[in-house]
Structure 1
């Protein structure tokens, strides 16, 4: 792994963020991607300048997982490449606004990704002469992020993109587009974003079908634009006014420099500048218009109108190759390359919920309670005894200690009692159970090793659950499929062991990915509030990768975690500083409770 400080280890930080966002994350390998349910990130060194980019990528993709309806997104995007790209831009804005509302800190996290893209040249304004669809979508992406998300670093690029947009498309289309853009702040779900993308595409179709006057002077653009704006304001879709009002309120609450002027004011200003250029008032453009000084020339006007229609039709017919990739695609590729350059071979396993068998669970629960009642009482008694108040004798106070009064005659002055604070264990325990294939061996006439181990784990969980100040979790490794990249959660912190007894009816499978199991338990405990954190491991064999297991154990100890290993007919002293070996599996419960006693008392 890349860091010796477990608290800074990327899988631990990523897990904390993933739990905060309520999504599943797997760290390791060379992929930065999501399938709509799980997010994958490569492991990066603590000093890597891509770490902040990875957190931004995680926040963005977590927002998709939480807020995007993938069925609607895929269905709407299948209509055309242009609509898919428009929808992706709008949905990105919507979901980032949503996650910023829930977790305000993600604003700065996401802005770091934008800063990195600008520095790397991954994000910039489209140039005149590029494909019209790229000019249109580039303007929407930059302008909406600058305005709706307040990413002020993009304002110069958004301004440049708007200038290119106005050179490429007619003013009427630009004005109507700005009107539709004002609705982005009111989008509440993926279906609404898809509907707006459809409207933008429909706006292009309407403009392509329109037949503008061939002798239209440049000064008429402003009037036509005003009419178009009136049309947008008066004929918007139902509910447009409330959404616009809501957007205005949001912009007032979160102003950005780009919002100082209204869309109409900016458009009128640019129209005036465009008119000056076309009429030759700009000295730089005087020579270029010398041959066509008569703006009312029918042939020239007809040619310009046809060029405009062609530009719009090109935008509508755009293919995937004509459009820029997804905004976060470059981020994904860069993170993947960084992972490929030297990522850790260790993946933080994904947790799968155990399949619960109520019938077998009842049998396991009855057996655990019947055979472990004496041990339960013993463990509880020891812990409770360690928490009894013991008055401390002092020289002054309000309460005398009767059985010390006789010492006053010999000069003893410590006759008063001072109460000592009662301390609880305040401990989080994570119990790891090895369910590798070797645990299937017969150990008694009626039971196999894994059955004894699971029963012992349940018995200990039942005992610890009854002790105030102790929180317990139980995890089996590997997962039910035998894959080292998964573990099975039998019991989570806060759950009642008796209610989860059916989850302890598991079967062995796979090898012994001890490092992955320890990695998962460490990530779980480091997110717990208890100051003391223990990992107890039951295993019967050598780990798949002993060196990797030792590395994880060393990092756990440096992070303040306490680890103990219980070897079932196998010596684990080379792995764990505190360990014990049992030769008779019948002694497993006694040995496990002995470890718990030593650690808790």
Structure 2
């Protein structure tokens, strides 16, 4: 049975058990984007059946526990919730802490499942990174939400500090710098979260935390009785459930105070402004703080990306739409002139002797008769000794849109006739003209493939060039010549929006497998931004098992892309067979090294 379907059914079974225990209805919806509950029913997305991924499965397990055993069992959905965005975000954080702790008492395995889910979400970047969390440009309201969410989960929920600890510390330091003692007081109030026993208590605590950030207009303005000290005289905020109702715990204050009772004294103007901005934040400026919604959105995004990667793995051929670009030809000429001498000398030293089937004789080799259908006359038993490079080479050139980055300029020098006036030529000295052309990564990729192919053709080494983006195209087949390819008006198609390197590499390998040469070499020219990393790793592994030499030449300095492809190379056994070209001038040396290692 399909793994994804099996997981999906198992998760539905768990959801059904939990919903049955708490007298709730389980509904599988094609319209739902995440699992959720309203107290009467648990809704589960039908689309999650396609999420065939171990990390996604872990997150889905955690969402079911969070929604069904947490909110479904312990949340009061009739409790009055605040209409103020920042208060609502605090309510979500505190209620999640309360219901997850309660669910862990009911089901001892749930804390472990939730910790595993948080570990995956951290790896996916759902909670951001330390640099982002500490950015001075982060909106004050977003900073307050992030700091409270991360610190509450890290400090109060078992097993989550291991994964959230560093992020919690970073956001806590940022909040302390931005809000001063207001953050200290807010965090002191948040210490009551593990002791909450109802949704109403969580709502009241959220309102108290936000109220601690509300300051008088001026630092030295006298405060009305009760404001800032939690007395019963404070008025309830509009729309904030339970805010200010009833006395605070003994010895606790609902707002930061100094020894003289003045709220907000000691804050810098920037801290006061940040506190005011945080309290007044619009809903669109605040991040999501409900774990179920955060995780559900992450699953949908991750599953969509995975389906996109699967689509890239489906081989798709396209026809050329234009002639070989002039920029390729200019760069190829320069590279060929640089390559020809050294590469020719290198190839001369590699000429090898081997025995091959002859083209004449009396006895047929019946096992080779299939060649006649392909126009190949090597079907006789007679063998002859020949001296040649018994190697086939495929050049795989990345022509996707990510290759559009500039890599410098090329000067093209030309000789022109001397200018003349009405009375005749000014002189006999010809004019030297220089034209400058910008060079992109795509020019380097295509020009290099063209230059290498032309030099190989001089030595009668079979070579093929395949361009790729989202689809692949045979720019020059083994049977074509470079002169015929250069003259075609439909040689290439450029600028695809995606980079299916693994798919294109699989096509190139499948065509190389059909060659009779003793050695087969694949040279990959790319910036490393592969859109199908799983298939790319598989392609490298298949190449190793079939004894195909693969050399990868990275064009440009896309660190993330190069690291991604290097990981695939390492898993396939090609960790060291690579070069990085940061300018077109470095390309000849990299090609010579590739040939020396592999042909």
TM-score (norm 1): 0.39
Which structure: greater helix fraction?
1
Which structure has more relative contact order (CA 8 Å, sep 6+)? It is 1
Which structure: greater strand fraction?
2
